[in-house]
């Protein structure tokens, strides 16, 4: 069963603790760093809106754990075809990061599977790191014991980077790729596209591929021509 689970074993290079821009989330970064490297660190529950960096931190935690010689698994529940099966097949790693906990709300079998996984990890001495869009009590989970288990974790609410920080991050990521994004291009992206960091980074990836293919400089007309 484990071989069929979509567990990320090769962590994307840009999703590392060193590459996370903390902004107002320095405490969250430090707690994730501890969970990844210290067996007795407290379990964590990260809440935050889209683009707040929660998935980055979960993947980075797994990468950091493996770098420290600890086994790790990352399970993005929003991307698995059978959430209950995936949760029942998880485990056996020193660090387990469960993303998109929102997905299980109102699904009794999935809620029970996460509750059982929580208890297995506690018994096995594994570390759990959760992420969702809201605190446990606000997810709509019907199983009271699961809500209380999740709420017992150290909870941190992630705050998205402000616009100046997102601009600086995009500019830095672009330079790492050999691209220069001038203020006009950034202005266009921030006025014509969704401003959450995830969407902006997807656009950077798109711009990079198109620039490499055409060998053209990145300008507003070039980016506009990429369409929606």
**Confidence at residue 12, expressed as pLDDT on a 0 to 100 scale:** 62
Instruction: State how far the Cα of 204 lies from the Cα of 218, in Å rounded to an integer.
Output: 11
Give the residue-averaged pLDDT of 53-81: 92
Give the residue-averaged pLDDT of 111-123: 96
Give the residue-averaged pLDDT of 75-94: 93
Asked if pLDDT for residue 1 goes beyond 60, the answer is no
**Confidence at residue 193, expressed as pLDDT on a 0 to 100 scale:** 85
Q: Which of 35, 30, 58 is nearest to 46 (CA)?
A: 58
Give the residue-averaged pLDDT of 173-195: 90
Instruction: State how far the Cα of 135 lies from the Cα of 14, in Å rounded to an integer.
Output: 27
Asked if pLDDT for residue 159 goes beyond 60, the answer is yes
User: Please, what are the domains in the chain?
Assistant: 2-157 (3.40.50.300), 163-224 (1.10.8)
Instruction: State how far the Cα of 116 lies from the Cα of 121, in Å rounded to an integer.
Output: 9
Asked if pLDDT for residue 63 goes beyond 70, the answer is yes
* Res. 101 pLDDT band, cuts 50 70 90: very high
- Cα–Cα distances in angstroms (integers) from residue 228 to residues 29, 120, 164, 222, in the given order: 34, 45, 24, 13
In the chain, what percentage of residues exceed pLDDT 90? 67
**Confidence at residue 5, expressed as pLDDT on a 0 to 100 scale:** 36
* Res. 189 pLDDT band, cuts 50 70 90: very high
Here the tokens at position 184 are 């006009």
Q: Which of 75, 85, 135, 128 is nearest to 105 (CA)?
A: 135
């Amino acid at each position: 069963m484990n071989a069929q689970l979509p567990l990320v074993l090769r962590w994307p290079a840009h999703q590392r603790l060193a590459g996370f821009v903390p902004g107002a989330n320095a405490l969250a970064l430090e707690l994730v760093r501890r969970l990844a490297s210290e067996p007795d660190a407290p379990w964590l529950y990260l809440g935050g809106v889209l683009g707040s960096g929660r998935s980055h931190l979960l993947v980075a935690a797994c990468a950091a754990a493996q770098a420290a010689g600890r086994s790790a698994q990352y399970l993005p529940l929003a991307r698995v075809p059978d959430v209950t099966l995936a949760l029942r097949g998880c485990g056996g790693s020193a660090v387990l990061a469960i993303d998109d906990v929102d997905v299980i709300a109102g699904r009794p079998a999935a809620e029970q599977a996460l509750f059982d996984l929580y208890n297995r990890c506690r018994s096995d001495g594994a570390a759990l790191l959760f992420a969702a869009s809201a605190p446990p009590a606000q997810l709509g989970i019907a199983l009271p014991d699961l809500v209380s288990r999740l709420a017992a974790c150290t909870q941190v609410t992630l705050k998205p980077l402000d616009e100046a920080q997102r601009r600086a991050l995009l500019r830095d990521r672009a330079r790492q790729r050999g691209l220069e994004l001038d203020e006009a291009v950034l202005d266009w992206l921030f006025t014509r596209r969704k401003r959450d960091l995830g969407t902006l980074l997807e656009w950077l990836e798109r711009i990079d591929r198109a620039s490499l293919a055409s060998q053209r400089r990145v300008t507003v007309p070039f980016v506009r021509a990429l369409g929606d």
